[in-house]
Amino acid sequence: MTHTPRPLVEAILAVLPELAPHARDAVIFHPERAEPDCRTSSIGGPLLWPSDEPWPECSLPDVNSPDGAPATAMVPVAQIFCRDAPGPWWPAGTDLLQILWCPNEHWDPPVQQADISPVLEVRWRQVADVINELTTPPPPSRYEEDGYLPQACGITAERVTDFPFREELPAELLLRLEDLVRQTGGGGDAITRLAGWELGGWPTWHLTHPTVFACGDCGTAMTLLFTVASETRQGSSSAGGETCASSPAPPITVTPSR
């Protein structure tokens, strides 16, 4: 699918002012192959990891090991510093988000994570707390060759205003939004389906119907924290992590390709 230019937010709201209450802040990350270091935001790059903290491992059964043995080291997916992507998604007292996963497909992952997916690990940190850095993290002992080993990339952050997919909007807005999407041309929805890696914003729901995920601790509806995209074009599949804003140490639910 080709890229469809997005109208300016002001132009969208001039036509549909009722969308304004549904807007969410978001940051889109534009990756470019590079050799980032552990003190920069990156996709697939090295993490600022304390030398005295064990590196996460996965010992759950996966498609390459029916019994999950031996345990395999997880791999970095993304590292985001608050200075590059400030916003409402940061828990108090943190300024660094780190996301890792097991680079294998799991048919029966933990209950809060989607089937047929890698198993996710998330760390919220305060940079000043990392005194001694881990210089050589362990490599994974097994991994899927295709899709689960992110290539190291530097990222450029773009602040955007995101709107929910039309099926999540009130019925009276649905038809008018569909008309506006058609008028943008190109065959893609550049208004409610922003392409790429994203922090915050709304799910794009490419492959599944909109679903509300409840926090397993308090029952509160979770909101999108981070989107991992297979590509940076519109229409590409993605998976996301939902988080609970009511928790001081937000749990993460991994949602399926959307």
pLDDT at 184: 79
Amino acid at 126: Q
CATH number at residue 110: 2.30.320
> Residue 235: what pLDDT?
42
Is position 3 within any domain? no
- Give whichever of 45-54, 118-127, 138-147, 184-193 has the largest mean pLDDT: 45-54
Amino acid symbol at 92:
A
28 within domain boundaries? yes
In a domain, 88, yes or no: yes
Residue 242: what pLDDT?
Answer: 67
Q: How many domains does the chain have?
A: 1
Q: What is the mean pLDDT of residues 172-192?
A: 83
The overall average pLDDT reported for the chain is 85
The arithmetic mean of pLDDT across residues 222-231, rounded, is 84
Among 31-40, 105-114, 155-164, 216-225, the least confident range: 105-114
3-17, 157-171, 203-217: which range is least confident on average?
Answer: 203-217
Residue entry with tokens 């043995």: 69
Considering the domain boundaries, does residue 2 fall inside one?
no
Give 113's strand partners.
Answer: 254
- pLDDT of 249 > 70? The answer is no
* Contact between residue 7 and residue 186 where contact means Cβ atoms under 8 Å apart: no
In a domain, 24, yes or no: yes
Return the pLDDT at 82.
Answer: 98
Examine the pLDDT at 246 and tell me if it is beyond 70. Answer: no
Task: Tell me the average pLDDT across 241-251.
Answer: 59
Residue of 91, 122, 120 lying closest to 103 (CA atoms): 120
Closest CA to 201 of 232, 231, 226: 226
Q: Percent of the chain having pLDDT more than 70?
A: 83
CB contact set of 4 (below 8 Å; sequence gap of 6+) = 184, 185, 186, 187, 188, 189, 190, 234
Residue of 223 and 108 predicted with greater confidence: 223
pLDDT > 70? residue 98: yes
Does residue 4 fall inside a structural domain? no
pLDDT score of 231: 63
108 pLDDT band, cuts 50/70/90, is: confident
pLDDT of 189 above 70:
yes
Domain encompassing residue 162: 9-255
Percent of the chain with pLDDT over 90: 52
183 contact partners, CB below 8 Å, separation of at least 6: none
Judged against a pLDDT cut of 50, whether residue 237 lies above it is answered with no
Residue 127 lies in a domain: yes
Residue 179 vs residues 15, 129, 173, 204: alpha-carbon distances, Å = 11, 51, 10, 18
Given pLDDT bands bounded at 50, 70 and 90, which one contains residue 1? very low
Cα distances (angstroms) measured from residue 134 to each of 10, 125, 185: 46, 15, 49
